[in-house]
Amino acid sequence: MTTLKVNGHEHQIDADPDTPLLYVLREDLKLNAAKFGCGLGQCGACTVIVDGNAVLSCVTPLLLVAGKQVTTLEGLGTVTSPAPIQRAFIEEQAAQCGYCISGMIMRAQALLQKNSKPTDEQIRAELEPNLCRCGTHMRILRAVHRAAKLMQTADASTTRAERSVQ
């Protein structure tokens, strides 16, 4: 049994320690926002936040995250009460097929938690490991800028999960 903290809740996970975090999230916890893309840490679709940093959950085995704080897209906000970054992505319509978007949002969220006013260049550099094959990049860039503004006004730089914990 491994203790895993996800979105503010502790879970006892009955899985091999070498199971990728992504599989645990999707199969055991039914948190399906993080996507399986390449399984090799090369596309970013599986990105989640671990202790404040963006992490590729498909190449992160369970044994490396035991005891650490994991945040997934589900931990940011809900359909009725989206987090600022989710609102920004919706308002900019920054998704086409949407497969990459959970990963994009999580990496952007991790960036904004460290740097509340990133430049275009910093956003591009940060999101470089995340691939989008539809080509919504310009909208994603605008969405991250919009999220930065929303967070400044809404004091919402922390995630819903972290707020509920506090």
CB of 6 to another protein, least distance (A): 15
Question: Is-contact 60 21, C-beta < 8 A?
Answer: yes
> Minimum CB separation from another protein for residue 78, in Å?
26
CB of 62 to another protein, least distance (A): 8
Angle at 32 between CA 161 and CA 105, to 5 degrees: 60
Rg (CA), the chain: 15
Taking residue 45's Cβ as centre, other Cβ atoms within 10 Å add up to: 24
- The site for another protein (CB under 8 A) is made up of 17-20, 39-42, 50-51, 53-56, 59-65, 121, 128-129
Q: Give the rounded distance of the alpha carbon of 154 from its chain centre.
A: 19
57 or 87: whose CB is closer to another protein? Answer: 57
Nearer to another protein, 27 or 128 (CB): 128
Q: Minimum Å distance from CB 119 to another protein?
A: 11
- Taking the least distance from each CB to another protein, the nearer of 133 and 149 is 133
**What span, in angstroms and rounded, lies between the C-alpha atoms of 103 and 86?**
12
